[in-house]
Structure 1
Amino acid sequence: MAGTADQEEILRGVLDRWQDAVDAHEPDVVAACFTEDAIFQGLHPYTVGRRGVADYYDSQPRGMTARYRILETRRLADDLVLGYMSVEFGFVDRPPLAVNLSLLVRRDADGWSIAHYQVSLLP
């Protein structure tokens, strides 16, 4: 993995909160991991802001889980970290779904949050 332990720690701080909320099917808690103006691209048309994130995760089936692995990190500025991950979403009634995930996490007065989220399906 390219990057530093500091960059990975920043990403894990955000991603662990995200993963716990996804696993618990708590869409509003998932959305709280994002900035107010976050650009969010899951597997549906993109949205901007926490409400769209919450709606997206509320539409996901109960029992869905997320497991991530950080592949690359880059510190773009003191308050901005890029992360590239592989994520496997698990389901109770169908095979898991493997995706790639790119994130930009930004630090503000409240700490680190996701400012940009882009999912790509694996071929």
Structure 2
Amino acid sequence: MNTTSTLTSLLDQWKTGIAAHDSAAVAKLFTDDAIFQGLRPYTIGPVGVAEYYESQPLGLTADYDLLETRQLSDDLVLGYLEVAFSFVDRPTVEVFLSIVARRNDTGWKLDHYQVSKLA
């Protein structure tokens, strides 16, 4: 398994869903019990993910650089990346993101998402 291509496939879908302001498409990338920590209090599962991205402004885009990957097991992959969230009307927000992807019977999905905004 190539951890980089596994995560890149998921992250490219995530990025596309964000740019299209399609919160349902983004939420489908997460497991039913995913821990999701954006820049607000955490939530569990796709419903919380959809609500988070639905509340984001139109025109939001995300560009990422995958910094590190680790294969934790046959069905778990960890990724650490730098993300630049760009807005139409305010400065870009740069964050670090840790993710864990889990393979289940429907393919790879995000099981953990943790944003850190380092000053």
Q: Report the TM range for the smaller structure's normalisation.
A: over 0.9
Tell me the equivalent position of 1:78. Answer: 74
Q: 2:43 aligns with which of 36, 41, 47?
A: 47
Structure 1 regions of 5+ residues with no counterpart? none
Q: Deviations over 1:64-94 (max 9, x none)?
A: 0000100000000000000000000000000
How far is 1:34 from its partner? 0.5
Tell me the equivalent position of 1:28. Answer: 24
How far is 1:122 from its partner? 2.3
Tell me the equivalent position of 1:62. Answer: 58
Distance in 2 separating the partners of 1:23 and 1:109: 28
SS in 1 for 2:40: coil
Aligned length: 119
Distance in 2 separating the partners of 1:42 and 1:70: 18
Structure 2 regions of 5+ residues with no counterpart? none
Q: Percentage identity across aligned positions? A: 55
User: TM-score scaled by structure 2?
Assistant: 0.98
Q: Give every structure 1 segment of 4 or more consecutive aligned residues whose post-TM-superposition deviation is greater than 4 Å.
A: none
Distance in 1 separating the partners of 2:60 and 2:12: 15
Task: Specify the code of the residue in structure 1 equivalent to 2:59.
Answer: G
Distance in 2 separating the partners of 1:47 and 1:20: 22
Distance in 2 separating the partners of 1:86 and 1:19: 13
Distance in 2 separating the partners of 1:12 and 1:47: 24
Task: Specify the code of the residue in structure 2 equivalent to 1:8.
Answer: T
Distance in 1 separating the partners of 2:69 and 2:44: 24
User: TM-score scaled by structure 1?
Assistant: 0.95
